[in-house]
Amino acid sequence: MILVVGGAGYVGSHLVKELVEKEKVVVLDNLSTGFKQLVDSNAIFVQGDLGDRRVLDDIFNTYPIKAVMHFAANSLVGESVTDPYKYYQNNVAATLTLLKAMVDHNVKNFIFSSTAATYGVPNVDLIDEKQPNNPINPYGKTKLMVEQILEDFATAYDLHYIVLRYFNVAGAHESSTIGESHDPETHLIPIILQHLLGEREKISVFGTDYDTPDGTCIRDYIHATDLANAHILALDALLEEEKETEVYNLGNGNGFSVKEVIETCESVTGIKANIEYGDRRQGDPAKLVASSEKIKRELGWEPKFNLNQIIESAWKWHSSQNIS
Ligand code: UFG
């Protein structure tokens, strides 16, 4: 059995949908940002906090868990700047409780959702895993801290782990039963689509004076299902003992500016956006684009969705929601 912590969240629920096809799954989620209805009905759902040692003991005593996949974190760059306590508490302290419980219950395999925010402001076109880690916001720092804890746990307690550093996740499951939903929403693609559906008056572009061709930030968008499939490959590599400790980047390797993302949404939907150009948002690097060559080479991962397809899938899901 596999324990998926944060399986009711956006990325976690996409992973659970794929994972239930091949494994028994227990989801632990406190529903602080997730939604129970996103959890596949074939998974066992436990509502609780990953920082609550009694809940963890209960799960590890009840189910034969062979690996833990950890998606439960606060993940908003801007909020981490204004409320760092929340981030160090939830992302670092609670994760430490989870890792100690795993060690005590002799569960040795761990997959960790990390982020491109660990790299800070890298001065290269394509970021590979050898780039130095130099996070510029508390969110990125909390993820890097957990990565450092994992290194030490591997040495001391023989924990096997794979860290997946996500770039910008977007898109919805092909069934349109689950998709990206945050409250409040801060992510670019859902905000644009909500606007195009008439749920927001306008889109604000945060900063037009970045050192990029059109002055707006460039990001690398990856579909949630492509990301879920990378997790399954990573899980197999741990369980089959092909890998003990690894770090992989996950992105499509193509950068799109905020303006280009808006244009693509306009062309997918056929609706024109009302755009307001504003100031920079704190904590945003100008450009983050992944090299995912390592996971392609070592685990055979191949993303299937380009930006157009990501936006099409998200549009299909958003349009099917009463409240998005
Ligand atoms: N943006 C706008 N207007 C908006 C929302 C976003 O201009 O209303 C811009 C942002 O400033 C940024 C880009 O669109 O330049 C993407 O912003 P998102 O908030 O969608 O995503 P981030 O790049 O800030 O962060 C995401 C995840 C992080 C992760 C990071 C790694 O939320 O967890 O990608 O690339 F660390």
Cα separation, 6 vs 237, whole angstroms:
21
Catalytic: 10? no
pLDDT at 323: 45
Distance from Cα 90 to the centre of ligand 1, integer Å? 21
Ligand 1, atom 21: closest residue by C-alpha:
187
What are the backbone dihedrals phi and psi of residue 280, each rounded to the nearest 5 degrees, phi first?
A: -65, 150
At residue 307, the pLDDT reads 98
Predicted pLDDT of residue 91? 98
Token duo for residue 170: 């977007």
Q: State the pLDDT at residue 322.
A: 57
Pairing of strands 218-219, 256-257: antiparallel
> From the CB of residue 316, how many other CB atoms can be counted at a distance below 10 Å?
17
Atom 15 of ligand 1 has which residue's CA nearest to it?
Answer: 217
Report the side by side order of strands in the sheet with 245-250: 44-47, 25-29, 2-5, 67-70, 109-115, 160-166, 245-250
The pTM (predicted TM-score) of the whole model is 0.96
Residue 202, classified by CB atoms within 10 Å of its CB into exposed (0-12), middle (13-18) or buried (19+), is exposed
Distance 141 CA to ligand 1 centre (A): 17
pLDDT, one tens digit for every residue, the chain (324 residues)? 999 999 999 999 999 999 999 999 999 999 999 999 999 999 999 999 999 999 999 999 999 999 999 999 999 988 999 999 999 999 999 999 999 999 999 999 999 999 999 999 988 999 999 999 999 999 999 999 999 999 999 999 999 999 999 999 999 999 989 999 888 899 999 999 999 999 999 999 999 999 999 999 999 999 999 999 999 999 999 999 999 999 999 999 999 999 999 999 999 999 999 999 999 998 788 999 999 999 999 999 999 999 999 999 999 999 998 543
Domains of the chain, each with CATH number or no CATH: 2-169+221-250 (3.40.50.720), 171-220+253-323 (3.90.25.10)
Residue 289 and residue 253 in contact, taking contact as beta carbons nearer than 8 Å: yes
| Residues facing 125 on adjacent strands | none
Enumerate residues lining ligand 1, CB below 6 A: 75, 77, 115-117, 167-168, 186-188, 191, 203-206, 217, 219, 258, 281, 284, 288
Can you say how many angstroms the Cα of residue 286 is from the centroid of all Cα atoms in its chain?
A: 20
CA distance 231 to 224: 11
Residue from 139, 161, 210, 248 carrying the catalytic annotation: 139
